[in-house]
Amino acid sequence: MKNELFVVAVVGAGVSGASIARKLSAYTCDTVVLEKECDVSFGVSKTNSGVIHGGFHYPTSLLKGRLEVLGNIMFDTLQQQLHFPFKRCGILVVAFTVEEMKTIEKLYMQGTANKIIGLEICNRERIHTIEPTLNADVVGGLHAPSGGVIEPYRYVFSLIESAKKNGVTVKTDFRVARAEKHNSHFLIHAENGERVRARFLVNAAGLYADEVSRACGAEGFHIIPRKGQEYLLDRNASGLPGKVVFPVPNPTSKGILVIPTPEGTCMVGPTAVEQEDKEDASTSQENFEKIFHSARRLIPKISERDIITCFAGLRPALSGGDFYIAESEQQPQLIQVAGIQSPGLTAAPAIGEYVKDLLKSAGLVLTERPDFDPMIDEVPRIRRLSPYEADELIRENPAYGEIVCRCESVSEAEIVAAIRRGHTTMDGIKFYTRAQMGRCQGGFCTYKIMKILQRETGMSIEQISKRGAESGLITGKVGNLTVQDVGKAAGEGKS
Amino acid sequence: MREKHCDAVVVGGGSAGLAAASRIASQGYSVTVLEREQELGGILNQCIHNGFGLQRFREDLTGPEYAERFVEAVQSHKNIEVLLDTTALEVSPGSIHSVYGYSRHEGVTKINARAIVLAMGCRERNRGNIGIPGTRPSGVFTAGLAQRLINIDGYIPGKRAVILGSGDIGLIMARRLTWVGVKVLGVIEIQAYPSGLTRNIVQCLNDFSIPLYLSHTVSDIRGRDRVSGVTVTPLEEGKANSEGKFDLECDTILLSVGLIPDNELSRKFGICLNPETGGAFVDGGLMSCVPGVFACGNVLHVHDLVDYVSEESERCASFVAEYLAGTYSSSHHPMTAGANVKYVVPNRYLPGRDNRFYLRSLIVKNKAELLISAGGEPLKRKRLAHVQPSEMVSFELSESELAGIPDPPENKLEVSIY
Amino acid sequence: MERKMVCISCPLGCRLTVRWSNEEDVTVTGNRCAKGESYAREEILAPKRVVTATVRTRAASGRRLPVKTSASLLKEHIPALLDRLYRMEVPLPVGCGDVLIEDIEGTGVDLVATRSLQGV
């Protein structure tokens, strides 16, 4: 079997891996991204809360603090190039007591030392003017206008799209089993037998960074999954805030937040509980009380009547509390990118830069690509257009007139755009288009999306899945039934 | 942009929209019906079971048969234009209202009309709404989606299923799944009594020995990629009793846990919604708080009998015609829900004419009595052989029955069940 | 032999007890009217059901045609009917009410289409 040869292999297509890949795509080094799921952004990055942090939670003595500050200011340019939903709506950290105001001051000092622009400490009147939906008991807080919110999966999708446009190869369903060095190249084996060679290996494997590190003969460390449960609230709910609202942080976590999303819905959460199982992203009823109690304390009008759905994600926690981004000492030419918890999303653009520099130090010669194009095409979204604009668009492309997801106003053209970009699962289409994310949670659009998928990809109905492999939807066709099948199902019925 | 003008726009070509459109057209007005699917009929198209039309036609029809009668009526009216494959996404309320219909063939069409009939029906309550904890595998379907996949497309959603909710939709699907080779392990019902018709308990569960677990709930869903099982927990006085819980191995869960009127477009008109029903507040003629915008059918309140939907929609259409003729009465008086009544629709009545109301009981009772009182004094009584929350009650107040009503403020009517 | 059942002829839902030793000797108790008696007898001696299902058509879209039995059918005939239904293919166009199978198993009950479908 011929081994494909690359210069850099990035393991993991979450926000870190995607940012690194896109950064590297500006250079002539052949880069491949190896992702174990059937689509990118299907791991930790999928359930990220989407907050672009304000750069005041951590000192710049910590790597994560420095990268957060650097990353934050890069988002405007990135949005212009990559068109993901992003709003620099601002962050508030609110205090209920004089004691808490002291913590606010500390955050302010930290942020100022980090050179964050626009930070202000607000008194009671000011903070309630800025955010009228706050609990009347809030006595003041920190206002960080540089904070914001994005749709994390759209961000990762767009980074990968841009990277691919500029020559990066992306291999999905490639789960790294092991890698050995032969003649200063890594020979990377996938569990399914596929093989790839690369001079440099970047381990950005999220929850599995520890296993990949070991499999590559590098450092042993332990990633502990830290589960966060969140609820998504309807955009029609009243009393939702316009800014991201934080409570005063405690030593272990930033607390339960109220997060307005760029699309007008609202997230409340996340919790933060460590566990053993890297696969267990189940939600529990116990967290419901805790989350709503905390959220209502900040924004009194938050109500469980407005819940659209609930889900949980796992953060890859590493002891030590900072990012581990460095060239491996045990395995030269391997760059570790591990323990990327909050503020990983905010830091991601800066992580890309940082890892590029680490690769350079490790011996990678960087030659800029003269034809690097930072822009990707913007796919029009019918819900953002006025009826007049929509009318013109439909005349150009009739598939824009076929409304598939009525809750989020998503047209067939957008579903097709998702599929043509490689998002061929129901979840992939959901993250790219928002279809199935709305009030009816796919009740009306599921069968339409399945038909479009069949038409565009030639998949059979049994091959269509929620998120790959074993998560199929349809198990058979009525047309293939025999009466024995029915007899078995009817069991000992009195037929 | 293509622009059209007509007297009334009906949003939705299901049972409510079809009945309303026919009646408005028969009064001589022009109607445009917007339907987002490629055929008329709405949800009836996938309800291939019988039990429809017993009241209205005294026949036992299937959903498609019932729909076809109304579709034929609409198609025979020259002054009804049907826009299929057209979704109403935007509106512009005003003295003349505009609705923007999106379709692949025509782009966006702006339709101007003085009257709008909202007949968009409802959507299903889903896992997100009821918050079943656990993992998020594939294999969790709302009953209506499963019904659509099986009955229209011929797709089988799984091999071993658990159904949550013993309303008629859940029961019908228990039988349908069995007849397409899916093993149904049980129907789980939160209440102490089933909410569907006894006929369906017998013919959909007993016939196939499918167990019905009353006072139970699904407390956990398991499975990494596809559902692998659920935990079923008994409820004691509404609270979960984890000592009695047990697991069922299945790969499919059907949720039949309620319907929610789909008022997204209604909000764009600025309509006031009634939190008790999930639909618009309407006056005695089923007109919302926005002049010229009416509502009928499931979008107004969730019905159980399509016969009532047709009746309500035709009644609404008569008022639309009056509105268009300029004879719509502005005199509407309060009708309120009294003891043991969850809601009554509409909650206004029109003096000096016949009125019809629909209500839901809060109690289960045989040999019950409906009592309508005015200013505290009994006005009318009606015997009801049997009431339960899942069976809507319809009653009339005729012009003569309303004749003796005192002047305000004693003119408030209240309906109660005893 | 004894069996308990709920009568479904009207919403009252009388709880019936049926006792029988052979076909002639059936006693029904618990019913408040004659409908209950005949319902119980039929359920014991010759239970019938209306069958509603879908059959394959030649539509390019794969759309299935809903069908029903024109009256309730003896339960014992249902498996054979389902077998035929799964093998059937109905050419289009078809009209609502069209008879697709006549006189199922000699019962006098037909299988009819419950909607019209054009040839698409």
Q: What is the pLDDT along chain A (495 residues), one digit of tens a residue?
A: 456 899 999 999 999 999 999 999 999 999 999 999 999 999 999 999 999 999 999 999 999 999 999 999 999 999 999 999 999 999 999 999 999 999 999 999 999 999 999 999 999 999 999 999 999 999 999 999 999 999 999 999 999 999 999 999 999 999 999 999 998 899 999 999 999 999 999 999 999 999 999 999 999 999 999 999 999 999 999 899 999 999 999 887 889 999 999 999 999 999 999 999 999 999 998 899 999 999 999 999 999 989 999 999 999 999 988 999 999 999 999 999 999 999 999 999 999 999 999 999 999 999 999 999 999 999 999 999 999 999 999 999 999 999 999 999 999 999 999 999 999 999 999 999 999 999 999 999 999 999 999 999 999 999 999 999 899 999 999 988 877 777 777 764 443
**Are A102 and A75 members of one domain?**
no
Supply the pLDDT for residue B259: 95
CA angle in degrees (0–180, nearest 5) for A89-A91-A96: 140
Distance CA A312, CA B334 (A): 47
A107 CB neighbour count, 10 Å cutoff:
22
DSSP H/E element including B50 = strand B50-52
Q: What phi and psi, each to the nearest 5 degrees, are found at residue A143?
A: -115, 120
Q: Does B304 lie in the same domain as B393?
A: no
Residues of A in contact with B226 (CB under 8 A): 470-472
CB-closest option in A440, A441, A471 to B137: A471
Chain A residues with CB under 8 Å of B153 CB are 447
In a domain, A487, yes or no: no
Domain check: are A78 and A173 in the same one? Answer: yes
Name the DSSP class of A218: -
Give yes or no for A487 touching C (CB within 8 A).
yes
Q: Degrees (nearest 5) of the Cα angle B397, B57, C69?
A: 150
Q: Least CA distance to B102: which residue of chain A?
A: A401
> For C11, which DSSP code?
T
A326 and A337 in a single domain? The answer is yes
Report the DSSP beta bridge partners of residue A316. Answer: A225
Q: What is the pTM of this model?
A: 0.95
Q: Which residues of B touch C94 (CB under 8 A)?
A: none
Looking at the fold, whether B132 and B99 belong to one and the same domain comes out as no
Residues B71 and B35 placed together within one structural domain of the fold: yes
Tokens for B67, please give them. Answer: 């729909």
Whole-angstrom CA distances from B293 to A110, A373, B10, B119, B289 are 56, 51, 10, 11, 8
Sort out which chain C residues have CB atoms less than 8 A from B207's CB and list them.
49, 75
Give yes or no for a contact between B260 and B122, defined as CB atoms under 8 angstroms apart: yes
Active-site residue, A128 included: no
Residue with tokens 């009554």: B344
CA distance A484 to chain C (A): 9
Looking at the structure, do residues A80 and A171 belong to the same domain, yes or no?
A: yes
Examine the domain organization and report whether B111 and B40 are in the same domain.
Answer: yes
CB contact under 8 A, A282 and B133: yes
Tokens representing residue B275 in the block: 């939190």
Identify whether residues B143 and B247 lie together within a single domain: yes
Is residue A184 a part of any domain in this protein?
yes
Alpha-carbon distance B309 to B303, whole Å?
Answer: 7
Residues B273 and B302 in one domain: yes
Phi-psi region of A398 (alpha: psi -120 to 50; beta: other; left: phi over 0): alpha
Q: The CATH number of the domain where A420 resides is what?
A: 1.10.10.1100
Q: Which residues of C touch A489 (CB under 8 A)?
A: none
Phi/psi at B48 (nearest 5 deg)?
A: -75, -5
- Could you give the strand order of the β-sheet that contains B365-374, starting from the edge strand earlier in sequence? B348-349, B333-337, B413-417, B365-374, B377-387
- Residue B380, domain extent: 336-417
| Interface probe with A: pick from C43, C83, C89, C90, most Cβ of A within 10 Å | C83
Residues A107 and A253 occupy one common structural domain: yes
Q: Which chain B residue shows the shortest CA-CA distance from A394?
A: B107
Chain A, residues 420-479, CB within 8 A of chain C, namely 478-479
Q: How far apart are the C-alpha atoms of B167 and B171, rounded to whole Å? A: 6
Judge whether B54 is closer than 8 Å to chain C, CB to CB: no
State the CATH number of the domain containing residue B349: 2.60.40
Please provide the DSSP assignment of B357-376 as one string: EEEEESS-EEEEEEEEEETT
Residues ≥6 apart with Cβ < 8 Å to A111: A54, A55, A56, A119, A142, A144
Residue ending a domain, among B257, B274, B294, is B257
How many Å lie between the alpha carbon of B149 and the closest alpha carbon of chain C? 10
Counting the structural domains of chain A, the total is 3
Using CA atoms, how far apart are residues B4 and B30, in angstroms rounded to an integer? 11
Distance CA B46, CA B166 (A): 19
Nearest by CB to A491, from B89, B208, B224: name it: B208
Q: Which of B107, B159, B207 sits opposite A394 (nearest CB)?
A: B107
- Tell me if B153 and C13 make a contact (CB, 8 A cut-off): no
Contact A310 B131 (CB under 8 A): yes
Distance CA A100, CA A80 (A): 38
C-alpha span between A407 and A236 (Å, rounded): 12
Cβ neighbours of C45 (radius 10 Å): 12
- State the average pLDDT for chain A: 95
Under 8 Å between Cβ of B379 and B413: yes
> Which residue from A494, B305, B186 is spatially nearest to C5, judged by alpha carbons?
A494
The shortest CB-CB distance from B154 to any of C11, C62, C67 is to C62
State which amino acid sits at residue B85.
D
Q: What's the length of chain B?
A: 418
Compute the distance between CA of residue A146 and CA of residue C79 in angstroms, rounded to an integer. Answer: 69
Residue at token pair 């930070």: A119
Whether residue A218 contacts residue A110, with contact meaning beta carbons closer than 8 Å, is answered with: no
Do B295 and B209 lie in one domain? The reply is no
A58 and A141 belong to one structural domain: no
CA distance C74 to chain A (A): 10
Q: How many CA atoms lie within 13 A of A23 on its CB side?
A: 24
Could you give the CA distance from residue A201 to residue A181 in angstroms, rounded to a whole number? 10
The answer to whether the beta carbons of residues B357 and B335 sit under 8 Å apart is: yes
Q: Is residue A358 part of a domain?
A: yes
Residue B44 φ then ψ, to 5°: -60, -30
The catalytic position among A53, A143, A185, A423 is A53
Residue ending a domain, choose from A300, A318, A336: A318
Cβ A446 vs Cβ A438: under 8 Å: no
Give the integer Cα–Cα distance in Å for A418 and B192. 46
Amino acid at B293: V
Domain containing A312 equals 86-148+224-318
Q: Do A483 and C54 touch (CB under 8 A)?
A: no
Query: Are residues A128 and A69 located together in one domain of the fold?
Result: no
- Within a domain: A185: yes
Instruction: Based on the fold, state whether residues A373 and A429 are members of the same structural domain.
Output: no
Is B104 near chain A, with CB under 8 Å?
yes
pLDDT digits (tens, 9 = 90+) for A337-379: 999 999 999 999 999 999 999 999 999 999 999 999 999 999 9
Three-state SS letters, A368-393: ECCCCCCCCCCCCCHHHCCHHHHHHH
Q: How many domains does chain B have?
A: 3
C11 neighbourhood in chain B, CB within 8 Å: 198, 385-386, 391
Distance from CA of C76 to the nearest CA of A (A): 6
Q: Running DSSP on this structure, what letter comes out for residue B182?
A: P
How far is it, in rounded angstroms, from Cα B363 to Cα B358?
Answer: 16
Question: Which pair of tokens denotes residue B194?
Answer: 């089933």
Assess whether A267 and A279 both reside in one domain.
Answer: yes
The tokens for B330 are: 């502005």
C74 Cβ under 8 Å from any chain A Cβ: no
Structural domain contains residue A490: no
A483: which chain C residues are within 8 Å (Cβ-Cβ)?
A: 79-80, 82-83, 86
Among B179, B197, B208, the residue to mutate for chain C (most C Cβ within 10 A): B179
User: What residue in B sits closest to C5 (Cα-Cα)?
Assistant: B202
Q: How far is A479 from chain C (nearest CA, A)?
A: 6
Residues 6+ apart with CB under 8 A from B281: B271, B272, B273, B274, B288, B289, B347
**Residue C62 sits at the chain B interface (C-beta within 8 Å):** yes
Q: Which chains touch A (3 or more CB pairs under 8 A)?
A: B, C
Could you please report the per-residue DSSP string of C58-70?
A: --TT-PPEEEEES
Per-residue confidence (pLDDT) for residue B209, from 0 to 100: 94
Looking at the structure, tell me whether residues A256 and A405 fall in a common domain.
no
**Chosen domain end from B218, B237, B257:** B257
Q: DSSP letters along A261-305, please?
A: -TTS-EEEE---EE-S-TT---B-SHHHHHHHHHHHHHSTT--GG
> What local confidence, expressed as pLDDT, does residue A2 receive?
58
Mutation for testing the B interface, residue in A444, A480, A482, A495 having most B CBs under 10 Å: A444
Q: Is A216 within 8 Å of A196 (Cβ atoms)?
A: no
Among A309, A474, A495, most B C-beta atoms within 10 A, so best to mutate, is A474
Shortest distance between the Cα of A207 and any Cα of chain B, in A, equals 16
Q: What is the 3-state secondary structure (H, E, C) of B186-228?
A: EEECCCCCCCCCHHHHHHHHHHHCCCEECCEEEEEEECCCECC
> Cβ of A389: how many Cβ atoms within 10 Å?
13
Inter-chain contacts counted by CB atoms under 8 A, chains A and B? 182
Is A494 an 8 Å CB contact of chain C? yes
Closest CA relative to residue C42, chosen from C15, C23, C69, C21: C23
Please check whether residue C3 touches A, CB under 8 A: no
Same-domain status, B277 and B173: no
Closest among A413, A421, A414, A426 to A453, alpha carbons compared: A426
Q: Which 3 state secondary structure label does DSSP give B398?
A: coil
Contacts of B179 in chain A (CB under 8 A): 486, 489-490
Q: B199: which chain C residues are within 8 Å (Cβ-Cβ)?
A: 8
Q: Do B48 and C114 touch (CB under 8 A)?
A: yes
| B302 and B344 assigned to the same domain | no
As a whole number of angstroms, the distance between CA B49 and CA B64 comes to 9
A432/A82 Cα distance (integer angstroms)? 13
- pLDDT reported for residue C15: 86
B230 shares a domain with B149: yes
Interface touch C56/A495, C-beta < 8 Å = no
Contact criterion met (CB < 8 Å) for C78 and A495: yes
What is the CATH classification number for the domain harbouring B106?
A: 3.50.50.60
Give the residue among B119, B99, B100, B120 at the shortest CA–CA distance from B320: B119
Whole-angstrom distance, CA of residue A326 vs CA of residue B318:
76
Q: Are residues B147 and B219 in the same domain?
A: yes
Mean pLDDT by 10 residues, chain C (120 residues): 84 83 84 88 89 91 92 91 91 94 93 89
Q: Do the domain assignments include residue A486?
A: no
Quick one: B229 and B151 in the same domain? yes
Choose one of B330, B362, B383: the last residue of a domain: B330
Contact at CB, A483 and C79, closer than 8 angstroms: yes
Looking at the fold, whether A74 and A197 belong to one and the same domain comes out as yes
Q: Are the beta carbons of A428 and A407 closer than 8 angstroms? A: no
B384/C contact by beta carbon, under 8 A: no
Instruction: Give the domain CATH number at A302.
Output: 3.30.9.10
Written as one letter, the residue type at C87 is R
Q: How far apart are CA B296 and CA B318, in angstroms?
A: 12
Divide the 418 residues of chain B into consecutive groups of 10 and give the mean pLDDT of each group: 97 98 98 97 96 92 97 96 97 96 97 98 94 95 97 96 96 96 96 88 93 96 97 91 94 96 96 94 96 98 95 97 94 92 94 93 92 90 89 92 82 93
User: What is the C-alpha separation between B147 and B128, in angstroms, rounded?
Assistant: 20
A493·B183 Cβ contact <8 A: no
Q: Do B198 and C6 touch (CB under 8 A)?
A: yes
Cis omega (within 30 of 0) on the bond before B409?
Answer: yes
Q: Is A97 helix (H, G, I), strand (E, B) or coil?
A: coil
Cβ of C79 within 8 Å of Cβ of A487? The answer is yes
Q: Does C96 touch chain B (CB under 8 A)?
A: yes
Q: Residue type at B334?
A: P
Q: Is the same domain home to A400 and A367?
A: no
